Amino acid sequence: MKKICFAAALLLLMFCFSVFPASAKEYQENGYEYSLYGKEAVIEKVPNVKGHIQVPEKLGGFKVTEIAGFAFSKNICESISIPDSVTVIEGQAFHKCRNLKKIKLPAKLSKISYYMFQDCVSLQEVTLGKSVKKIQTGAFYNCVKLQKINLPVSLKKIQSNAFYKCFKLTNVKFGNKLTSIGSRAFYKNYELKKITIPSSVTKVHENAFEKCDSLASVIFKGKKTKLGKGVFVDCTGLKKVKLPAKMKYIPEKTFYGCTNLKSVTLPKPVSFIKAKSFAGCESLEKIHLTNKVYAIGDGAFKYSGLKSIHLNKKVQFIGNSAFAGTNIKNLQMGENVLYIGNKVFASCTSLKTIYIPANVKGINANAFNDCSSLREIRVAAGNKNYCAKDGVLYNKSMTKLIQYPLHKTNRSFHVPSSVRTIRSNSFNDNNYLRNLTISAGAIGNYAFQGMTKLRTVRITQGTKKIGKEAFLGCRRLSRIDIADSVKTIGDYAFSETNIRVAHIPSGLVKMNANAFSRCDKLSAFTGGGGRFTVKDGVLYNGPMTRLMKYPPKKTTKSFTVPHSVKYVSSEAFDRVSHLTKLYFEKGIKSLPYNCIYKVKNLKSIVFASGTKLKNGEYAVGDCPKLAVIVGPSSYPIRRMAYYASATLITL
């Protein structure tokens, strides 16, 4: 039994020695620190000297075959020669050699290891041996002065970030054995002017040449080379590209921000142009789509210089913002287009006419936003989902108004009685219409926003909803008739208009106080009932426990807030012109931030004796004539007087 245990222990000991070899002993010679592996020397550290370093071929009589990582790290030398006996140089060997200008690498070196020359900011010239097959990740990372490097014919792979921020590299010639160029391999190579990708390259990875500002010409010799996304992002000097002949799609962001790109020939097999492929190509005025293209991705040509484009019969899908911000004037889509996405033609300020083919099934509400020159929308007679009347786009049954052209010059428009919904953004920024009659059941959000010439609006019986910001910024809108059938008025629906009198429908169920914010010409509210009360032209909630809005142009100089009011809405007394004295009965409990704001003639605020205000210290803002606040000596009232720079008279 003892013999068996001894044998087992011996085997375990032998296993440990085989798995965990003893670390090599380090030696020194002439300032070099090295270790031995068999009969070969590995340099661990070199002497830190100025000028030139000649790495010895032998140390301690042993041939030098390897240089360890960080061996030259932060060395102050200016040039280095390495003997051909060296076959391995580990990663970061020359890390931050900031004075190094020139180096010749050994002939038998097969790879340039990861981050080998990272931050060698003075390095100008590198001579590679003829055996190099791989340049690893970040090998020349941030070598900002590197101007010249010979890439040997033996080179097969250039990995990611290999020449990252090599600002001065002007010429790179790839050999016919190269198969791969890694992501951001030549990122910010500002002086690189021309590249030819050999047929041996199977893939150029994402963002490989991003921000190569001077790169003017790119030629692909191979027919099957694949591209990752964003290969030429922000190559602002790029003018001409010849793509691989058998390319099947244009990857995402391929030419994003190539502001000088004028000519691109799409290979015949291309069937899909992916998102933002040509976005920001300001000089690209035209492009010929192949007969196989069936889909155009989101933002594919967004803010490019396109003036015209022919969409072939196979195009079925047009993604969000695909042509947004381009200079296209007229567009006729192929008969097989099925869907038009969000903001597809947004901000196409030159687009005058658009034709909707027969097979279109879906059009996003914002497809034509800010098309300031659009005069007419046409729809194919056979379309089962949409129709047009007098240049205005509707659904087929005309129950939904989808888009009113921004440059349609009519001064008056009566929404057809069949319409039940006016879609969001459908009229916004039209600068011609002055008079509107609306009978739709629902008015969408932002529907009439920014219509600077609109003066009168009549919302007839049957309308139930007015969406948020529906008339926001219609600065000349002075009269609006709202039917009592309206149940909902959205946030800021009439904000920043010139409405003089606002009618509150008797059937109104939901409305925020901000619906009429910044209506500086508003002199009175009328109507009300149920959920909302109007008294002496002032708007309250139904039971009059909250004062919602005091009309800015109400001519009364003195106003007493009723005893029933406990709360005041934000902006309730915003920019009131004539009010000089404001009196609160003791029922008031809370005053929000700046609810009394820019009341330019207000001289005094009085709180009734016994008022128990819980908060209100920041209620008053920018009331230049306010001299005195009268009320109980409570903390909120004392602080209100302090922040308003008014004298406090306590009761």
pLDDT at 345 over 50: yes
C-beta contacts of 490-499 below 8 A and 24+ residues apart: 490/445, 490/465, 490/466, 490/515, 491/515, 492/468, 492/517, 493/466, 493/467, 493/468, 493/469, 494/470, 494/519, 495/469, 495/519, 496/472, 497/471, 497/472, 497/473
Contact 88, 64 (CB under 8 A): no
**In the predicted model, what is the mean pLDDT of residues 192-215?**
97
Q: For residues 357-366, give the mean pLDDT.
A: 90
DSSP calls for 546-597: EEEE--TT---SEEEE-TT--EE-TTTEET-SS--EEEE-TT--B--TTSEE
Tell me if 122 sits within 8 A of 94, measured CB to CB: no
Q: Side chain identity at 56, as an amino acid letter?
A: P
Q: Over the stretch 280-316, which tens digit does the pLDDT of each residue have?
A: 999 999 888 889 999 999 999 999 999 988 888 899 9
pLDDT of residue 18: 39
Residues 6+ positions from 322 with CB-CB distance below 8 Å: 296, 297, 298, 299, 300, 301, 302, 341, 344
The answer to whether the beta carbons of residues 157 and 177 sit under 8 Å apart is no
> What type of residue is 278?
F
Q: Which residues of 218-242 are buried (b: 16+ CB within 10 A; e: fewer)?
A: bebbeeebbbbbbbbbbbbbbeebb
Q: CB of 602 within 8 A of CB of 623?
A: yes
Sequence-separated (6 or more) residues with CB below 8 Å from residue 20: none
**Alpha carbons 102 and 78: distance in angstroms, whole number:** 7
- Residue 331: pLDDT band (50, 70, 90) is confident
Nearest to 78 by CA among 138, 145, 131: 145
Which residues pair with residue 356 across a beta bridge? 379
What is the pTM (predicted TM-score) of this model? 0.81
- Write the pLDDT tens digit of every residue in 135-156: 999 999 999 999 999 999 999 9
Q: Quickly state the pLDDT bin for 17 (edges 50, 70, 90).
A: very low
* Digit-coded pLDDT (tens) for 215-224: 999 999 999 9
CB 547, CB 570: distance < 8 Å? no
pLDDT per position as a tens digit, 34-76: 999 999 999 999 999 999 999 999 999 999 999 999 999 999 9
Instruction: Assess contact for 196 and 176: CB atoms under 8 A.
Output: no
Q: Is 638 helix (H, G, I), strand (E, B) or coil?
A: helix
Q: CA–CA distance from 39 to each of 19, 59, 98, 358 (Å)?
A: 21, 11, 33, 81
Q: 334 pLDDT band (50/70/90 cuts)?
A: confident
Q: Give strand ranges (E) for 136-256.
A: 148-149, 157-158, 180-181, 194-197, 203-204, 217-220, 226-227, 240-242, 249-250
Share of the chain above pLDDT 90, in %: 89
Residue 22 has pLDDT above 70, yes or no: no
